[in-house]
Structure 1
Amino acid sequence: MTDGHSHRTARDLMSQGAECIPAHETLDRAAQMMRDSHVGALPVCVDDRVTGIITDRDIVIKCVAEGRAPSAMRAGDLVVGLVSVPVDATVEEALQLMEEHQIKRLPVMADMRIVGMITEADLARHLPDDQLVEFVHRVYMDA
């Protein structure tokens, strides 16, 4: 990116597409989907509408570590809200949301549907080093 990176949008940063897991699916199924897709997070959907995302860490901390069975908990049980960004949001807006909510993955939406996800790997590919370092510091160090 150049100094004029403010013209870039969430669409420019995101990885295309994101496979959703229905809210009624179990966490063991979510873990299998993450494994098979080589991702650490999945959007959770109800009737093709994203209601939030769950991460591999959510499954470990909020299910396994509490002695619950992943086969007995549903993906929707872990969703606490959706933080997302529209495709035309600026890079700065996307970074600000991620920093403000201390999240490392951000769903990108168009017409109320998920079209992609901004991840740390996407940021590493697209941001200048100084901006990436600042983001990492704010999300990890201020947590």
Structure 2
Amino acid sequence: MKISDVMTRDVQTIQPDQTAQEAARFMVSTDAGSIPVTEGDRLIGMITDRDIAVRGVAEGRGPDTKVRDLMTDGIVCAGIDEDVDTVAQKMSDAQVRRLPVVDGEQKLCGIVSLGDLARESEGEAAHEALEGVSQPGGQPR
């Protein structure tokens, strides 16, 4: 099964020139811990609640800090044509609960979560990903 069969296609994004406060408000309203950062339809990074709360506060940054200054770049992505098991392994290795899905030009096509894997792949791929995500000692990306 391809990841395009299980991913969520309607993904809200944020722009790099928006503020940390705008990102945090979005996270509260959608009950999400991360948001893809895009320029046009091209994925350039992710911003997480941890980026804002831990990195931002540790560096003394306020709510008006631009997303580009807090976002995580160099993120792990799933390719739109990858199979579910490969993506589950990527999630496990990177210890993340969500992965953006991109095409060959890094255009954001969707996002896949552990929940998507659990609902659509008989749970095996989700179990594999969850085992890696749950391992202590990794550096989340």
* Partner in structure 1 of residue 32 of structure 2: 39
How far apart, CA to CA, are the structure 2 residues paired with 1:120 and 1:65? 29
User: Does the residue aligned with 1:117 lie in a helix, a strand or coil?
Assistant: strand
Identity between Structure 1 and Structure 2 (%) = 33
User: Does the residue aligned with 1:108 lie in a helix, a strand or coil?
Assistant: strand
Deviation, 1:53, is 1.0
Task: Tell me the alpha carbon deviations over residues 42-96 of structure 1, each in whole angstroms, 9 at most, x when there is no partner.
Answer: 111124321111112221111135542122x221122231321221110112112
> What TM-score do the two structures reach when normalised by structure 1?
0.81
Q: Contact conserved, 2:84 with 2:125, CA < 8 A, in 1?
A: no
Q: 2:52 is aligned with what amino acid?
A: I
How far apart, CA to CA, are the structure 2 residues paired with 1:80 and 1:129? 29
User: Does the residue aligned with 1:115 lie in a helix, a strand or coil?
Assistant: strand
Deviation, 1:125, is 1.4
User: Does the residue aligned with 1:23 lie in a helix, a strand or coil?
Assistant: coil
User: Does the residue aligned with 2:17 lie in a helix, a strand or coil?
Assistant: coil
In structure 2, do the counterparts of structure 1 residues 123 and 130 end up closer, same or farther at CA, with 3 Å as the change threshold?
closer
Root mean square deviation of aligned Cα: 2.0
Judging by fraction of residues, say which structure has more helix: 1
**Gaps (5+ residues) in structure 2?**
none
* Partner in structure 2 of residue 27 of structure 1: 20
Alignment coverage as a number of residue pairs: 135
* Partner in structure 2 of residue 5 of structure 1: none
Q: After the TM superposition, which segments of 4 or more aligned residues of structure 1 sit over 4 Å from their partners? A: none
Deviation, 1:98, is 1.3
Deviation, 1:130, is 4.7
**Gaps (5+ residues) in structure 1?**
1-7
In structure 2, do the counterparts of structure 1 residues 115 and 42 end up closer, same or farther at CA, with 3 Å as the change threshold?
same
Of 91, 95, 100 in structure 1, the residue corresponding to residue 93 of structure 2 is: 100
Q: Contact conserved, 1:44 with 1:79, CA < 8 A, in 2?
A: no
1:50-65 to 2 correspondences below 5 Å: 50-65=43-58
Q: Does 1:118 align with 2:122?
A: no
* Partner in structure 2 of residue 11 of structure 1: 4
